[in-house]
Amino acid sequence: MNRYNLTRLDGYNPFPGPLVLVVMDGVGIGKRDESDGVYLAHTPVLDALYQEPLFAELKAHGKAVGQPSDEDMGNSEVGHNALGAGRVFAQGALLVNEAIASKRIFEGAAWQSIRDHAQAGGTVHFMGLLSDGNVHSNIQQVLDLLDQCAVDGFPKVRMHILTDGRDVGERSALGFIETLEAKLKACSEGGRDYRIASGGGRMVVTMDRYGADWGMVERGWNTHVLGEGRTFASAAEAVQTYYDEDPKVNDQFLGEFVITESGKPIGTIQDGDAVILFNFRGDRSIEISNAFEEIEFEHFDRKRVPAVFFAGMMQYDGDKFIPKNFLVEPPQIEGTLSEYLCGAGLTSYAVSETQKFGHVTYFWNGNKSGYIDQKLELFEEVRSDVIPFEQRPWMKAAEVTDAVIAAIKSGKYKFIRLNYPNGDMVGHTGVPDAVRIAVSSVDLMLARLLPVIAAQGGMLLVTADHGNADLLFTEKKGKRETHVAHTLNPVPFIVKDYSSANRFTLTGVEAPGLSNVAASVMNLLGFKAPENYDPSLLKVGA
């Protein structure tokens, strides 16, 4: 029996074409001044769409997407969860904070196994993004875990840190390292030995996603596990050296580094050790998890595979059980928009390039891999280029658009969703000219889509998952600082109806957010939203 039944919307008339939902990743609504890369870009199509009567601004950060506070930026993971689930679920940062505060995290089987390995003489290794960005990780959570390591008497702990420069300031790594070193020194009292062993920039080592560049993961493996890489006496020395050698480099792109003493690495990973990947976000944690856990591993030569207990902060893929062991349960999301649409027998098509393919599939579907009903759905990935995004800011927008146009013209799909990654991926580079080109590229692709949707008598829905390109710099005491992180700005919600089958109006939902989009999609497709969904932004009739 189908659990996901939908009721037809009263007074609704079917329309011939598809509903096409465009997620302009990282394209928020900024101040419309010289700091706003979206405003500065050439966007005649978006400018016109912003004048549509069915236009609203949506919250895409903080509590509106399940983050701990409204000071926390949104991100693509939580944004697509909210878009696809139609409700707000407590997300990684909040779940981990609660588990640490309640001490529940230290009562589970995973921490007990880590404790057992430490008591048996194994080293406990922490690996992850050292930052307070609260997108992939939070340094305070790591400091809390280190305190517990000391309380539990773990004799030896090693840190393998990835510098951020993307969700936080471009060159903020030294401050985070100073904070971490102070904690490690305090925890080393009483004969314990807690130190930083290796690291590197997040866009150079370890944190690849969606198989875009396995070479990053290989460099991470060689650095963290094998102790192979450029050597330094300390993490601070490594970072400062890279700064001095290239005044333009930011923390995302620092080279790998290995800390040595008397010519030997101080923290290689050996048999009998325990490894904790302290990132709570999944997309950039899965590949390194696979490198530790897969027996038949084909992506690179690991050279040596230590027998360790490996645990993630969370389980990053619940369908594929990656990793097998984890410290905190991820949000359980059932009854997604896709499940309801499949239950109603509607066909759908999802596409993006590699960098955001998992967002319109895995995250959209409540952190579940694969199809809900392969007879009704098709997912298509356009392989991303492996090149710095500022060097090719148009990315694969044209190829994604080609695929969408073909899907529209095929007449096979009633609901089509796509993600243009440009505003986010190029926004993170902080290169103003590239950001403007990236946003203009998305606008040009909308110009290609609109007449095709119109010819089929379809509808267009445009939104974004969070802001990024809408803030190029901030000013402090008269000095400009490049901004490369996500923003707290709202994002657009725009409906352009080419069918004329129905007259939709805005409902005036108070403080609308991304979670209101799913119910709106259901209404546009002729269905009432489930009672537990956040309300639709639209209604049929005046």
Residues with active-site annotation: 76
How many other β-carbons are positioned within 10 Å of the β-carbon of residue 107? 10
From the list 413, 398, 502, the residue with the least C-alpha distance to 453 is 413
- The answer to whether the CB of 308 falls within 8 A of the CB of 54 is no
Do residues 423 and 27 touch, judged by C-beta distance below 8 A? yes
Residue 398 to residue 523: CA distance in whole angstroms: 30
Contact 218, 287 (CB under 8 A): no
Q: 515 is written with which tokens?
A: 């979670």
Provide the residue type at 263 as one letter: G
CA angle 361, 364, 369 (to 5 degrees): 45
Give me the DSSP letters along 375-444. TTEEEEEEPPPSS-GGGSTTTTHHHHHHHHHHHHHHT--SEEEEEE-HHHHTGGGT-HHHHHHHHHHHHH
Helices (H), 170-310: 173-187, 214-220, 235-245, 286-293
What's the Cα-to-Cα distance from 325 to each of 35, 255, 264, 292, 419, rounded to whole Å?
A: 44, 30, 31, 12, 31
